Amino acid sequence: MKKSYTASLITDKNGNRDIRIESGGKTKHIWGRYGSRRELELAEKHSSQTIPVLIGSGLGEGLGRLLETSERPVIVVDREEAIIKASGTKARYDDNPRVIWLEGESAQEVVAAIDRTSKKHGLPVEILRIPFYLRLDPDFYSEVEKLLSGNIPEQKPVTSWPRFRTEKPRILLMTSQYFLMGEIEAACSRLNIPHRLLNIDSKESDLGSFVNRVIGTITAFKPDFVLTVNHLGVDQEGYLNTILHKFGLPLASWFVDNPHLILPLYSRQADENTALFTWDADRMESLAEMGFSKIFHLPLGTDQSRFKPVDGCHRPEWKSDISFVGNSMVHKTAKRLEATGVTGALAQRWNEIATEFGRFSEPSVRHFLKQNYPELYEQFQSMASPVRKLAFETSVIWQSTLEYRLSCVKKTLPFSPLIVGDDGWHSLLPPQGWKYHGELSYYDDLPGFYPCSKINFNCTSQQMKGAVNQRVFDVPACNGFLLTDHRQQISELFEPEKEIVFYRDIEEIPSLVEKYLNDREARLKVVKAARKRILAQHTYDCRMERLTEIMRTTFS
């Protein structure tokens, strides 16, 4: 759906220009910081062997650079009248015969014109997109990209190498963020699994570069399959899927966050070539309903080389009887709710929905609304875009987590807990009876922090009503004692009371805290048993062995 907006040209104190977009009371910029510079960098990615197709004219800086560096025509796909007027780009190049400006009524009409130009000059086209345009009119610009995909310069895939023929499969690790990939890379190295990391920001990279990098890496490395985490590195339009099909390569995507808040943004989601791994067994049935057929349960784990015992507590300010590490969810929830743009009854009853969601076992906000608030479900379904729907679902989960987390933490106040997290905790808890510490680094600080507390307290996010979080593995791995909330899947991972101590009801928290604060031997006994289990079954080495075996069995 095309957005309604106004546009104006701005220049910062350093001379960088940008286009300011104002819509619905909100202000955004096409490029953000270093606007002009980023547009020039986009133009410099152009291959001299192709005809550049600019998806959006932006400031006109990229178009100018392309005209300077090549004698070939430059195609501009832009029908944003407000931006064109603000930048003056079209008027500036109106008399240049090498600039082909396309503003067709439909994507099909525009692509037909591009195809004619390509054939006339005997050259393929290369897409250079300004990502902001896909948010202004996704139905038009995304469709142009999809229809043009056949014109992107292709390298003929080498499909002759054998798959899964060696003892250790070759894995192409693909991401657009470094989330969890460090742990996976380290596990692959320890297991002697051949692997290569391809880090691509698919939201910012132009399509031609994205395709060429993927094809080039696959051709050179010849993997048995591609692995992503939370679909990071997978483009939402489906080009990676097309490439993998041409090579006959399967995709493994390991979800360690709610897949239903991620997958709806991706086109062509369900595919026989894709295996989904989910940290939460409760998600398997709903993923099958989305059309996926290869779904496997793969819990989180720990990196035993990072979370390992240390000799004593080296930071006096970390020492405590009981501590909790976690976000208050105050600021995160407020920002997510603002992003929904929700109004009317859905906005008025949002708090009630979040509270009630926390009391039910249903993990999906969408299904929860349909079952328990049918009078509001229609308004939810009519929200302007999938992005806003997902923002609403996320805001409900986060607010529910805030309320649940606060109710649990309050039960520890008689024991003067150390709370580690953002400053939102000050607005939730009374001024006395607890100590505050700012956020700590997961990698640099937490392995040394956990052993400093007699009890590491845990209360799980409401996005996983049956699964366990990372802390359940990390704390015992470095010889820390954990008191956590009960989750249905926890008994499949640990032996209750012997390897894990949990509360089923928040009213049990004070008595359990008191019991284990006063029984050091009992704490040490549980920690020893838990760590033994974790090292044997719950490291990322174990998870990668399981994942690779499933991929071999499923796709060889």
**Mapped to the 3 state alphabet, what secondary structure does 371-436 carry?**
HHCHHHHHHHHCCCCHHHHHHHHHHHHHHHHHHHHHHHHHCCHHHCCEEECCCCHHHHCCCCCCEE
CB distance 313 to 451 below 8 Å: yes
Is pLDDT of 237 > 90?
no
354: which DSSP letter?
H
Tokens of 521: 């031997």
In this predicted structure, the answer to whether residue 205 has a pLDDT above a threshold of 70 is no
Beta strand 418-420 pairing with 320-325? parallel
Q: Which of 164, 352, 145 has its CA nearest to residue 250?
A: 164
Burial class (CB in 10 A: 0-12, 13-18, 19+), 541: buried
User: Residue 226: beta bridge partners?
Assistant: 172, 251
Q: What's the one-letter identity of residue 467?
A: A
Q: DSSP class of residue 160?
A: -
Does residue 159 carry a pLDDT above 70? no
Helices (H) and strands (E) in the chain, counts: 23, 19
- Check: CB of residue 228 under 8 Å from CB of residue 367: no
DSSP-based three-state secondary structure for 321: strand
pLDDT cut 90: percent of the chain above it:
61
Band of pLDDT at residue 132, cut at 50, 70 and 90: confident
What's the chain's average pLDDT?
89
Question: What average pLDDT does this structure show over 523-550?
Answer: 98
The model's pTM: 0.74
Provide the pLDDT for residue 148. Answer: 79
Which residues fall within 8 angstroms of residue 88, CB to CB, at 6 or more apart? 9, 60
In whole angstroms, what is the distance from residue 27 CA to residue 275 CA?
A: 40
What confidence tens digit (pLDDT) does each residue in 344-380 have? 999 999 999 999 999 999 999 999 999 999 999 999 9
What pLDDT band is residue 513 in, cutting at 50, 70 and 90? very high
**What is the structure's pLDDT at 153?**
44
| Average pLDDT over every residue of 534-538 | 98
Output the six-digit token pair for 77.
């796909």
pLDDT (0 to 100) of residue 472: 98
The answer to which of 85-94, 273-282, 489-498 has the lowest mean pLDDT is 85-94
Question: What SS3 class is residue 505?
Answer: coil
Is the pLDDT at 221 greater than 60? The verdict is yes
Q: How far is CA 250 from CA 247, 320, 554, in A?
A: 9, 48, 10
Instruction: Please say whether the beta carbons of 366 and 260 come within 8 A.
Output: yes
Q: Which long-range contacts (CB under 8 A, 24 or more apart) does 138-143 make?
A: 138/1, 139/1, 139/2, 140/2, 140/79, 140/106, 140/107, 141/55, 141/56, 141/77, 141/107, 142/237, 143/107
> Contact at 8 Å (CB) between 219 and 166?
no
- Calculate mean pLDDT across residues 531-555: 97
DSSP 31-75: S-TTHHHHHHHHHTT--TTSEEEEE--TTSHHHHHHHHH-SS-EE
Residue 1 has pLDDT above 50, yes or no: yes
Count CB neighbours of 422 within 10 A. 15
pLDDT of residue 149: 66
Q: Would you place residue 111 in the very low, low, confident or very high pLDDT band (cuts 50, 70, 90)?
A: confident
Place of tokens 């779904």: 295
> pLDDT tens digit string along 422-457?
999 999 999 999 999 999 999 999 999 999 999 999
- Name, of 7-21, 141-155, 449-463, the range with top average pLDDT: 449-463
* pLDDT band (50, 70, 90) for residue 206: low
Distance of alpha carbon 493 from alpha carbon 500, whole angstroms: 9
pLDDT band at 152; cut points 50, 70, 90: very low
| pLDDT score of 55 more than 60 | yes
CB environment 30-61: b (16+ within 10 A), e (fewer)? bbeeebbebbbebbeebeeebbbbbbbbbbbb
Query: Is residue 121 very low, low, confident or very high in pLDDT (cuts 50, 70, 90)?
Result: confident
* Share above pLDDT 70 across residues of the chain, in percent, rounded to a whole number: 92
* Mean pLDDT of the 527-542 span: 98
Q: Most confidently modeled of 63-67, 138-142, 327-331, 380-384?
A: 327-331
Q: State mean pLDDT over 260-276.
A: 82
Please tell me the distance from the alpha carbon of residue 415 to that of residue 393, in angstroms, as a whole number.
35
Amino acid identity at 543: R
**17 - beta bridge partners?**
11
Residue bearing the bigger pLDDT, 264 or 522: 522
Q: What is the largest CA-CA distance in the chain?
A: 85
- Amino acid 556: pLDDT: 87
- Going by pLDDT thresholds of 50, 70 and 90, the confidence category of residue 268 is low
Assign 228 a pLDDT band (cuts: 50, 70, 90). Answer: very high
* Residues 145, 15: Cα–Cα separation, whole Å: 32
Cα separations (Å) of 478 from 101, 103, 471, 527? Answer: 61, 61, 11, 9
Nearest to 125, CA basis, from 157, 96, 154:
154
Residue among 509, 453, 463 nearest 485 (CA): 509
Query: pLDDT tens digit string along 302-330?
Result: 999 999 999 889 999 999 999 999 999 99
- Output the DSSP codes for 189-257: HHTT--EEEEE--TTTS-HHHHHHHHHHHHHHH--SEEEEETTTT--TTSHHHHHHHHHT--EEEEESS
Q: What is the mean pLDDT of residues 291-296?
A: 93
DSSP letter assigned to residue 307: S
Stated length of the chain: 556
Task: Count the Cβ atoms, other than its own, within 10 Å of residue 436.
Answer: 13
